Amino acid sequence: MSGEERARLVQGALESISAGSKSFRFASQLFDLPTRERSWLLYSWCRACDDITDGQTLGHDAERVVDPAARIAFLKDRTAAAFAGEDTGLVPFDALRVVAADCAIPQAVASDHLAGFERDAAGWRPVTTEDLLSYCYQVAGAVGVMMAHVMGVPESDTDTLDRAADLGIAFQLANIARDIVEDARVGRIYLPTDWLEAEGLAGTDLADPRHRPALARLARRLSDMADDYRRSARIGAARLPFRSRWAVLSASGIYGEIATRAAALGPRAWDERISTSKAEKAALVMEAFWEALWPVKPVPRTGLWTRPSRP
């Protein structure tokens, strides 16, 4: 690949992340240049998969699609082509081709990610906590694993990769807490049926303001779970080079703030979309800097959901 072509893909990926995730874009600046650009390339593919599945643009204006199975088939086909080293002519998939080759990203982990989108396309809903966590792994934990490879973690370091998955799971739990009402309005329910039944709720109730106190209790439960997975992820982050460790801890703080605020706001959590300002992000980044300097006491991942193992 020519330097000019690579630069074109990096620029396209940067434009995608700048519009699609200000939080990730903010944290990615802390990486060294090669890791930063590779993180953008990977994000470009992840963003495209999400947008194509949901019929949205850069994470916004999702709408019901009429051809969900065809969209998933397209994603699988183009992703397989990227891993085969083929030029797809599509920036997100060519970006994946480059970063997967650079960082030895296993195709199986990318397939795990696509499995989450396939669930969404099929209108899947979780019944149990196990279902919820497996979905969170697919749509976000698998991205954590791929990002760990981008940061140089080898396939043989399974514990660090498991903890990278933990951080993605924590991120997704935070997103679910923030977006309970917004998701329900477009027919997406990510709270397990078991949880809803315990509160006397059905999926159709979630957008009804009268049920906000129950939603607040569920958001607190999601936030507490997210904290458990974030604590585990800190152990893995401590094994990374300093700049990567700082970036990961910054992202953890920024996304963790989402879950914390959703829990703290109680029934008011869905009056408006929760976000963090640039000043707040900067403060969290500085907090992460000091955290990155201190050693972390290793602790086992006892009781946490674990990604599928492979030979």
Rounded distance, CA 9 to CA 40, Å? 9
Domain ranges of the chain: 1-106, 125-306
* Neighbour-count burial for 113-136, b at 16+ CB within 10 Å, e otherwise: bbbbbbbbbeeebbeeeebbbbbb
Instruction: Fill in the DSSP letter of residue 84.
Output: T
Q: Which residues contact 215 (CB under 8 A, 6 or more apart)?
A: 180, 181, 206, 267, 269, 270
Identity of residue 278: K
84-129 pLDDT, tens digit each: 999 999 999 999 999 999 999 999 999 999 999 999 988 899 999 9
- Burial of 29 per CB tally in 10 Å (0-12, 13-18, 19+): exposed
Token digits of residue 228: 């458990």
Token digits of residue 66: 């009429």
Outline where the chain has alpha helix (H): 3-20, 22-28, 33-54, 68-83, 91-103, 107-121, 129-136, 142-150, 158-178, 180-185, 193-198, 212-237, 242-265, 278-293
Q: What are phi and psi of 57, to 5 degrees?
A: -125, 110
Specify whether the CB–CB gap between 44 and 99 falls below 8 A. Answer: no
Q: If you average pLDDT over every residue of the chain, what do you get?
A: 90
60 DSSP β-pair partners: 57
pLDDT at 79 over 80: yes
174-214 pLDDT, tens digit each: 999 999 999 998 888 999 999 999 999 987 789 899 999 99
Rounded distance, CA 126 to CA 122, Å? 12
Mean pLDDT over 223-248 rounds to 95
Mean pLDDT over 2-15 rounds to 84
The third-level CATH classification (topology) of the domain covering 125-306 is Farnesyl Diphosphate Synthase (1.10.600)
pLDDT at 15 over 70: yes
pLDDT at 63 over 60: no
pTM of the model: 0.92
Residue 61, Ramachandran bin (φ over 0: left; ψ between -120 and 50: alpha; else beta): left
Rounded distance, CA 205 to CA 184, Å? 8
Q: Which residues contact 298 (CB under 8 A, 6 or more apart)?
A: 235
Specify whether the CB–CB gap between 135 and 171 falls below 8 A. Answer: no
pLDDT at 290 over 60: yes
Token digits of residue 99: 């970063």
Q: Which of 285, 289, 294, 290 is nearest to 238 (CA)?
A: 294
